[in-house]
A = this chain, B = another copy of it.
Amino acid sequence: MDRNEIFRLLEQFSQGELKKEEVVDHISSLGLEELGFATIDTDRTNRTGIPEVIYSAGKTPQQVADIAERMSKRGIPVMATRATREMFDAVHAVIPGAIYHEMARAIVYQNEKPQTSEKYIAVVSAGTSDMPVSEEAAITAEFLGARVERIYDVGVAGIHRLFHRMELIKGASVVVVVAGMEGALASVVGGLVDIPVIGVPCSAGYGANFGGVSALLSMLNSCASGVSVVNIDNGFGAACQAFLIVKSMQG
């Protein structure tokens, strides 16, 4: 709870601008707005640096469109992850300016492009089957206002491809490494850079990859010491943390 806010309320109370009941109500409902089927978290951007983003899986196209419309009307930039084209069509009908990133499965609408950071995030992927997740990470980071450099298809089966791009990777402020199968790329990159590495294990594969568990365990057990990990296929989450790191460096 914000001490300054309480100070301000007490100030108003002691000057008779607020009644006792009003102070009680204010204190207990700071930053909250009750809707029909949802309780909107109106100050999430202020609090966590990242606005609410619609997780579309399990929602109907109409539901996604309704939420997107309401957000856009309040001037909140709109992003919907894990969105199908059918969902996009529904959103596009109410927000004509919305854009669909097919590979990333993401719908984006921003009234004005965010000012892009000078510092950049390197999104590095092991193979082409990891692209939906890599692109979700890249598009999310760009939506939040970060500059992104994509270095794709440089997995360890042909490791010289990675070395060829190392200078671009080393110049980044943070690296997001997306890899399925055995996920070795996160460790290899982590052993070569002096910046934070966020690993995103991918579910692409079969058999004993167990839907991404193989890459997840690889990254959690990385022998490189500066690597942390997010959920399987969670390109969105990796981008959020990468953005927070870049944002703090900006100033």
In the complex, which of the residues B152, B153, B184 contacts A218, with contact meaning CB atoms closer than 8 Å? B184
Assess A167 versus B13: contact at CB under 8 Å? Given A47-B192, A48-B194.
no
A41 contacts B by Cβ under 8 Å? yes
Q: Which residues of B contact A183 (CB under 8 A)?
A: 182, 184, 218
Selected contact of A49 from candidates B206, B211, B226, B231, CB within 8 Å: B226
- B181 with A245: CB separation less than 8 A: no
A–B complex contacts, Cβ < 8 Å, 25 sampled: A6-B24, A13-B14, A14-B14, A27-B27, A29-B164, A37-B131, A38-B152, A39-B152, A39-B153, A39-B161, A48-B193, A49-B226, A156-B188, A157-B190, A157-B191, A182-B217, A194-B247, A196-B244, A206-B232, A207-B233, A208-B212, A208-B213, A208-B221, A208-B231, A217-B218
A246 nearest CB across to chain B (Å)? 9
Q: Given A6-B23, A48-B194, A159-B188, 10 other A-B contacts at CB below 8 A?
A: A41-B161, A44-B158, A156-B187, A156-B188, A181-B221, A181-B222, A182-B223, A194-B247, A207-B216, A208-B212
- Is B192 in contact with A203, judged by CB distance below 8 angstroms? no
Q: Is the CB of B206 within 8 A of A214?
A: no
Which residues on B sit within 8 Å (CB–CB) of A10?
A: 13, 20, 23-24
